[in-house]
Structure 1
Amino acid sequence: MRAIRIHQTGGPEVLVLEEVELPPPGKGEVRIRHHAIGVNFLDTYHRTGFYPMPLPLTPGAEGAGEVVEVGAGVEGFKPGDRVVYAGPPGGYAEERNIPASFLLKLPREIDYDTGAAMMLKGLTAQYLLRQTYKVRDGDVILVHAAAGGVGQILCQWGRALGAQVIGTVGSADKAQIARKAGAHHTILYREEDFAARVGEITKGQKCAVVYDGVGRATFPASLDCLRPFGVFASFGSASGGIEAFDLGLLGRKGSLFATRPTLFTFMADRTRLEKMARDLFRAVSAGDVTIGIGRKLPLAQAAEAHRALEARETTGSIVLEP
């Protein structure tokens, strides 16, 4: 079968399409044939070594497909089942083996492309909106990179939960996308002081929570967008990691809370994962969340997908087709 392999860290050019031999699924594993593969910023971190991984590596942390074979000890899955996952690397391939603990049954009303594009980003939005800070009717929330994959889901789902959503974006075109996704207000962060604009929009009341997947470029100004006891929820570092975080800032800016949760910590408990997935599937099936797919590319063009993602040329999700 064909798979993308990384033999050394570096730019998108290190993503190489190769013929590889996939062994039978081991104990507790399931072999799946991909119908669609999701592309995420997490994959670029693995490629560059920002999140070090053993090499050689096949990147890709989410996908959708059908079960081909099950290993010893696997219960609840059988050949032919429609499945999705967010899990360990290995997704940029026609087929893969994956621990059954990461797999979920894909509801019939959700197609494979949507399934592949929604799991990592959708489950991230779920733990942010429903667990990290549980958004309530009437809350004001700030979503950075509101036109991106996670950002659009946060805007849609946050609005469905009754929040007033403010989104930061990098261009007028992306502002339109964020508003379509549910943002009540958009801020062009390259042209405006976003913290000052948040103050104007909220008449000085500021936000209950800031959801920040950008990192260095939006910190520490994000803290100035929070009301007393507000929550700064950092979940990504698209512009680089936050360095030298002075904890005293939290006290000086209003007894704030700051957290850096990760999806895979939430997913470690199978019962919690299934509950999160049911919540996400319900939101998508009910139409509260629509998964935007900006580009579909063949597996062989994985490098182009990474270039577009890192250049912030994308809106919504990128899906690779095996």
Structure 2
Amino acid sequence: MALVVTSAYLASRLLRIEHGYWAPMTSAMVMRPDFAQTFSRGVARVAGTAAGVLVSTAVVQLFDPGDWVLAVLAVSCMGLAYLTMRTGYAVMTVAISSYVVFLLGLQPGDPVRLAVDRVSMTLLGGFVALAAYALFPTWQTARLPERLAEWLASAGRYAAAVFGAYGDPAGGHAEKDVRPALLDVREARSEMLAALDRAEVEPVRHDEQVRELTRKQFDKARSAVGMLDRCTVLLEAHLPPEDAPPVPGAAAFGEELRDATALAAAAVLLGQDVDFALLRDAHRTWDHQLAALPRDDRIDVTRAGARLVMQALTELERAVRTRPQPARPEPVPLGV
């Protein structure tokens, strides 16, 4: 941001335009962390500025309004800008540009020259911002594996907290651990979906920016993590009361699950295979222990929920599994 604003300011100084500060101001207002917002705001800024300047300059030139009329028009445009601040960036830009022209019309000077300066500096600032993004892009597509890994790790912590509540109902885990973990996984999911929406409109291909996962693998992995979330929500909905006896081994399995999903998140981030073999063995042993206990609703719910969780993790394991590259045939020597 600092480099872009400085570049726009230096470029305006080289052009020796009186209101050169409009260029860095435009660059600062256009720049955003992702391509979609930067491009859309840049286009809206340039188009809105041009439209506002042309209309307001035409009003000043054709009708020659007095100072009081110009003041009323300027205040009205600023009011419109505040009203559309959160609903329409292009309309807000039209209003601000008109406000500037009407306000400067109260001073002596050529309004046409001011209009030309305003439009040219807006074009310069928008061009510098878009050029900087083209030279140093921060594509959201390349960050999709990172967002997916964060969501997976938070989903594992959420599931571990729920199993911990089954293993120690009297410990107050529902408010102390489960609720914060649920908020974390919701935030991670929303950030991942927001990054995915931004990546959809970027002019780059998924395979060019993401070496760790193909787009098909990413979609399947996203579906598997979503299934893990839903299974955990179902388990949370049946949490036992604080006076209920604990489910043996639930807390220990939750710890195993949290560690396994953390390792899986790191593997997704690095483009490696995900392996839940150790967790699968731990689940099999724990399930056999629960099967030997007397039938109880708590036990049945825990076993069914754990099986659903393991099914989701198995789907994730299959989704991100790297395919072996076909072996290249060895060259046959000439004359054979």
- TM bucket (normalised to shorter chain) is under 0.3
> Comparing both structures, which one devotes a greater share of its residues to strand?
1
Give the number of the structure whose alpha-carbon radius of gyration is greater.
2
